[in-house]
Amino acid sequence: MNYDLPPEYTALRRMMREFCEEEIKPAAKRIDHSGQVPREMLQRLGELGFLGVPFPRQYGGMGAGEIGYCILMEELNRASPSVATIVGAHIGIGVMSLYLDGSKTLQDKYMPDLCSGKKICAFALTEPNAGSDAAAIQMRATLEGDSYFLDGQKMWITNGPIADVINVLALTDPALGARGGATVFAVEREWEGYSTGKPERKMGLHGSPTSLLNFDNVRVPKENIVGQLGLGFVTFMKTLDIGRVSLGAATLGGAQAALEACVRWARTRSQFGRQIAHMQSVQFIVADMAAEIEALRALVYRTAWLVDTGRPFIKEAGMCKLLGSETASRCIDRAVQIHGALGLSRDFPLERAFRDARISEIFEGTNEIQRIVIASELMQEVGVRLRP
Ligand SMILES: Cc1cc2nc3c(=O)[nH]c(=O)nc-3n(C[C@H](O)[C@H](O)[C@H](O)COP(=O)(O)OP(=O)(O)OC[C@H]3O[C@@H](n4cnc5c(N)ncnc54)[C@H](O)[C@@H]3O)c2cc1C
DSSP, residue by residue, 85-118: HHHIIIIIIIIHHHHHH--HHHHHHHHHHHHTTS
Q: Is 132 near ligand 1, meaning CB less than 6 Å away? A: yes
The pLDDT value recorded for residue 3 is: 56
Q: Is 123 near ligand 1, meaning CB less than 6 Å away? A: yes
Q: Whose CA is nearest to atom 11 of ligand 1?
A: 125
Q: What is the CA(140)–ligand 1 centre distance, in A?
A: 21
From the CA of 158, give the closest atom in ligand 1: 8
Q: Is 236 near ligand 1, meaning CB less than 6 Å away? A: no
Q: Is 211 near ligand 1, meaning CB less than 6 Å away? A: no
Catalytic residue selected from 364, 368, 377, 381: 364
CA-to-CA dists, residue 295 to 48, 70, 288, 298, angstroms: 31, 15, 11, 5
Cβ(76)–Cβ(120) under 8 Å? no
Is 364 a catalytic site residue? yes
Q: Where are the beta strands (DSSP E) in the chain?
A: 121-124, 140-144, 147-158, 165-171, 182-188, 194-196, 210-221, 225-226, 270-271, 274-275
Amino acid in the structure at residue 71: I
Cβ(321)–Cβ(359) under 8 Å? no
Q: What is the CA(206)–ligand 1 centre distance, in A?
A: 18
Q: Does domain 8-120 have CATH number 3.40.50.2300?
A: no
Q: Is 158 near ligand 1, meaning CB less than 6 Å away? A: yes
Q: What is the CA(130)–ligand 1 centre distance, in A?
A: 8
The pTM of the full predicted model, rounded to 2 decimals, is: 0.97
Q: Is 365 near ligand 1, meaning CB less than 6 Å away? A: yes
From the CA of 208, give the closest atom in ligand 1: 1
Q: Is 125 near ligand 1, meaning CB less than 6 Å away? A: yes
| Residue 155 phi, psi dihedral angles, 5° rounding | -140, 165
Tens-digit pLDDT profile for the chain (388 aa)? 445 688 889 999 999 999 999 999 999 999 999 999 999 999 999 999 999 999 999 999 999 999 999 999 999 999 999 999 999 999 999 999 999 999 999 999 999 999 999 999 999 999 999 999 999 999 999 999 999 999 999 999 999 999 999 999 999 999 999 999 999 999 999 999 999 999 999 999 999 999 999 999 999 999 999 999 999 999 999 999 999 999 999 999 999 999 999 999 999 999 999 999 999 999 999 999 999 999 999 999 999 999 999 999 999 999 999 999 999 999 999 999 999 999 999 999 999 999 999 999 999 999 999 999 999 999 999 999 887 6
- What distance in Å separates the CA atoms of residue 278 and residue 355, rounded to the nearest whole number? 29
Report domain 234-381's class. Answer: mainly alpha
Q: Which of 123, 125, 132, 159 to mutate to test the pocket of ligand 1 (most atoms within 8 A of CB)?
A: 132
Residue-range domain boundaries for the chain: 8-120, 122-230, 234-381
The pLDDT value recorded for residue 1 is: 42
Q: Look up the CATH number of domain 122-230.
A: 2.40.110.10
Cβ(170)–Cβ(186) under 8 Å? no
The pLDDT value recorded for residue 361 is: 97
Q: What is the CA(263)–ligand 1 centre distance, in A?
A: 34
Q: What is the CA(17)–ligand 1 centre distance, in A?
A: 31
